[in-house]
Amino acid sequence: MTTTGNLAPRPVPRRTVHVRRVRFSHPDGALRRHYVDGDLVMSHVLAVLSATFPPGEDFFVRAVRHYRDQITDLELTAQVRGFIGQEVVHGREHDHLNQALRQMGYPTQLIHRFIDKVLILFDRALPARVRLGFTAGLEHYTATIAEHLLTDPRAQALLGDTEVRSILLWHALEESEHKAVAFDVYRAVGGTERMRIWTMRVISTLLIAHVVAATALSMLTDRATYNPIRLVHSLARLRHSPFLTREVIRALRAYNRRRFHPDDIDSTQLLEHWRAELFGPQGTLTGKLK
Ligand SMILES: [Fe+2]
Ligand SMILES: [Fe+2]
């Protein structure tokens, strides 16, 4: 193996990646306009991410499914099934949330349609392996943010006691559960280290540009943005956001190390804790399972 070439596939360890059929409800008026702790910018950032998830997750599923027949490791085959099922339910539940956000004035439908078009273009224009590299890289973003949300009480506190909190905690748990699946598929089909790292660089640039531009556009549709005191206060708060800490940036960058693997960041205990907390016998979301 060269340092830039592909790594020999190793047997995939057992991981629990099973699909939970949850259903959340969003009655009219359940959320206040700035549902992230009354904060203008963060409420728009989260709406942009939520609008991006369903078409993004469809893209991930297409990218991984393309290689399903080439996987010979039975454990990985089972995890791919779990991964696809989990992402399908995430997309559906975020679609419901996005309808509620749209009623509140967020341009979630516009963002969804735009991203869908871009990603369908990617399907047509890019080799399957590049799309799988993008997927593995983006899954590192979702897993890193997810594990940070599950670890940092300050991040959880921003979400108050709303259905958005429930959706994000459930989604975060499953993103951490399946964080290595697209990565292991990439490795199993012979994806190189060099391509893994450059696809991550490309997709990082596109993701950051998208989130910044779509958030700016979303905020332009909100009257509160034109209140300079609120705007300046919210932008100042962003600098101390629990989601933009040094640890988060360090964990994101770890992916660019040669021989990195998502399992390098051990999440066993975190997952055990949150599985019990959300879906154990006394779990706060057990009642949402259908
Ligand atoms: Fe997801
Ligand atoms: Fe995911």
- CA 236 to centroid of ligand 2, rounded, Å: 30
DSSP code for 264: G
- CA 31 to centroid of ligand 1, rounded, Å: 22
- CA 230 to centroid of ligand 2, rounded, Å: 34
Answer whether residue 109 is part of any domain: yes
> How many structural domains are present in the chain?
1
Asked if residue 2 has pLDDT above 70, the reply is no
Query: Which range of residues forms the domain containing residue 190?
Result: 40-279
- CA 142 to centroid of ligand 2, rounded, Å: 6
Q: What is the CATH number of the domain that holds 181?
A: 1.10.620
Answer whether residue 62 is part of any domain: yes
- CA 179 to centroid of ligand 2, rounded, Å: 7
Taking alpha carbons only, the member of 124, 101, 105, 103 closest to residue 54 is 101
Answer whether residue 6 is part of any domain: no
- Cα–Cα separations (whole angstroms), residue 32 to 23, 43, 103, 109, 164: 21, 10, 12, 19, 11
- Cα–Cα separations (whole angstroms), residue 275 to 177, 248, 262, 271: 10, 23, 19, 6
pLDDT tens string 206-255: 999 999 999 999 999 999 999 999 999 999 999 999 999 999 999 999 99
Answer whether residue 172 is part of any domain: yes
Asked if residue 10 has pLDDT above 90, the reply is no
pLDDT tens string 126-173: 999 999 999 999 999 999 999 999 999 999 999 989 999 999 999 999
pLDDT at res. 290? 87
Ligand nearest to the CA of 64: 2
Answer whether residue 19 is part of any domain: no
Enumerate the H helices of 180-245 as residue ranges: 181-188, 193-220, 228-238
- CA 84 to centroid of ligand 2, rounded, Å: 9
State whether residue 160 is helix, strand or coil: coil
Dihedral (CA of 153, 157, 161, 165) sign? negative
Answer whether residue 31 is part of any domain: no
Asked if residue 54 has pLDDT above 70, the reply is yes
The C-alpha atoms of residue 262 and residue 151 are separated, in whole angstroms, by: 17
pLDDT at res. 1? 44
Residues with beta carbon < 5 A to ion ligand 1?
A: 87, 90
The C-alpha atoms of residue 22 and residue 287 are separated, in whole angstroms, by: 9
What is the chain's length?
290
Answer whether residue 10 is part of any domain: no
Answer whether residue 23 is part of any domain: no
The residue whose two tokens read 């993004």 is 56
- CA 81 to centroid of ligand 2, rounded, Å: 13
